[in-house]
């Protein structure tokens, strides 16, 4: 939901589509930790947990080059399934000695409101943690946590393990208010607004249901579905709305920045007979704010922006 910085503190809050009991277990059971812990390109070959105050929560993460990084953390407090407090011991090989991480697993209608807060002994250490990639690494780690914790019952012959890309889609969960500007066929700019509510459909899909005003007047409702095709390594989805009979079918990919999802689709051309190529580009500015830009490709191959929306989380 949001990444926040204050004084000696760094924090992040996200919605995970699983119960607090499931998310807490994923953090405290060694076999489960090894299944997801670490950034997108990392694995976790070792994990052990002595779940008591004074016990040790120890992981080893391995990067894409095969380098291992040990993360021994002293458990300062346990309040299952709601809270876990960890401290990086002074004198350990970790570069943030004395930093304290507080993990909260709070009930939410969509599953768990997971909050992580790191308190550092000095502001300089907080800046160091930022420069080490706090926002990206923790964002990717929670993507993997969400995909793991939300895994449904086994047995379906078409099932495959959820991936970090499924977890990335969970960043969209929650209730959002949006403001939109559209460029009409005549060139006029019209404004619209509304509310979107995004929920998960198991570990694999998210469904966004929106209602609001239309450019030029009137009200409409629309539904977006989005998932990730493991075999094709592509995001897939659909858009249908009460304002038109056409279904837009999405095919897209996450950009290298880890924040931007570019979705290609096809629909009726706005200024001529026949069909045209469209793109919807979703960019996470933070876990509480995102943008959507829509553009259309002309006969000469050039792209023209036709809509921009800004979403702010309200729940």
- Residue-wise pLDDT tens digits, 12-26: 999 999 999 999 999
Domain that holds residue 90: 2-150
Closest among 51, 1, 31, 16 to 145, alpha carbons compared: 16
Top pLDDT among 216 and 17 is at 17
- Angle at 29 (CA atoms; ends 41, 85), nearest 5 degrees: 85
- List, for residues 143-192, the tens digit of each pLDDT value: 999 999 987 666 677 778 899 999 999 999 999 999 999 987 677 889 99
Report the pLDDT value the prediction gives residue 158, as an integer from 0 to 100. 75
Please report the sign of the dihedral spanned by the C-alpha atoms of residue 287, residue 138, residue 130, residue 259: negative
**Could you give the percent of the chain with pLDDT greater than 90?**
85
Please compute the mean of the pLDDT values over residues 203-230 and round it to a whole number: 94
Statement to judge: residues 43 and 182 lie in one domain: no
Statement to judge: residues 140 and 191 lie in one domain: no
Statement to judge: residues 117 and 176 lie in one domain: no
Do residues 101 and 118 touch, judged by C-beta distance below 8 A? yes
pLDDT interval class at 2 (50, 70, 90): very low
Statement to judge: residues 119 and 184 lie in one domain: no
In a domain, 204, yes or no: yes
Please compute the mean of the pLDDT values over residues 105-130 and round it to a whole number: 96
In a domain, 160, yes or no: no
Statement to judge: residues 21 and 144 lie in one domain: yes
Distance of CA 141 to the CA centre of its chain: 10
Is residue 309's pLDDT more than 50? yes
- The structure tokens listed for 122 are 């000095």
Residues 6+ apart with CB under 8 A from 114: 13, 14, 15, 16, 23, 103, 104, 105, 106, 142, 145
> What mean pLDDT value characterizes the chain?
93
- List, for residues 178-195, the tens digit of each pLDDT value: 999 998 767 788 999 999
Do residues 304 and 286 touch, judged by C-beta distance below 8 A? no
Statement to judge: residues 181 and 140 lie in one domain: no
Report the pLDDT value the prediction gives residue 153, as an integer from 0 to 100. 60
Report the pLDDT value the prediction gives residue 260, as an integer from 0 to 100. 97
pLDDT interval class at 287 (50, 70, 90): confident
Maximum C-alpha span of the chain: 71
Domain harbouring 301, CATH code: 2.40.128.20
Domain harbouring 129, CATH code: 3.30.530.20
Tally: H helices and E strands in the chain: 5, 18
Split into its structural domains, the chain has a count of 2
Whole-model pTM? 0.90
């Amino acid at each position: 939901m949001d990444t926040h910085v204050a004084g000696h503190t760094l924090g992040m809050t996200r919605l995970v589509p699983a119960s607090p009991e499931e998310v807490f277990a994923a953090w405290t059971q060694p076999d489960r930790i090894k299944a997801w812990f670490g950034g997108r390109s990392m694995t976790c070959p070792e994990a052990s947990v002595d779940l008591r105050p004074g016990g040790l929560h120890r992981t080893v993460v391995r990067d894409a080059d095969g380098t291992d990084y040990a993360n021994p953390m002293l458990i300062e407090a346990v309040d299952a399934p709601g809270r876990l407090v960890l401290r990086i011991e002074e004198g350990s090989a970790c570069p943030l000695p004395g930093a304290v991480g507080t993990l909260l697993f709070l009930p939410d209608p969509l599953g768990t409101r997971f909050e992580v807060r790191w308190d550092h002994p000095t502001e300089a250490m907080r800046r160091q943690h930022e420069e080490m990639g706090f926002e990206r690494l923790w964002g990717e780690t929670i993507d993997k946590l969400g995909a793991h914790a939300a895994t449904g019952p086994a047995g379906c012959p078409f099932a495959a393990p959820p991936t970090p890309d499924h977890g990335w889609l969970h960043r969209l969960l929650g209730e959002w208010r949006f403001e939109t500007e559209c460029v009409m066929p005549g060139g006029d700019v019209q404004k619209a607004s509304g509310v979107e509510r995004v929920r998960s459909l198991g570990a694999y899909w998210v469904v966004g249901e929106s209602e609001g005003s239309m450019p030029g007047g009137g009200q409409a409702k629309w539904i977006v579905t989005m998932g990730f095709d493991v075999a094709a390594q592509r995001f897939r989805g659909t858009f249908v709305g009460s304002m038109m009979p056409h279904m837009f079918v999405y095919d897209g990919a996450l950009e290298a920045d880890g924040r931007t999802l570019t979705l290609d689709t096809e629909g009726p051309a706005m200024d001529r007979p026949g069909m045209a190529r469209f793109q919807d580009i979703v960019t996470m500015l933070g876990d509480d704010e995102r943008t959507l830009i829509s553009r259309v490709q002309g006969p000469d191959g050039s792209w023209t922006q036709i809509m921009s929306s800004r979403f702010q989380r309200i729940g």
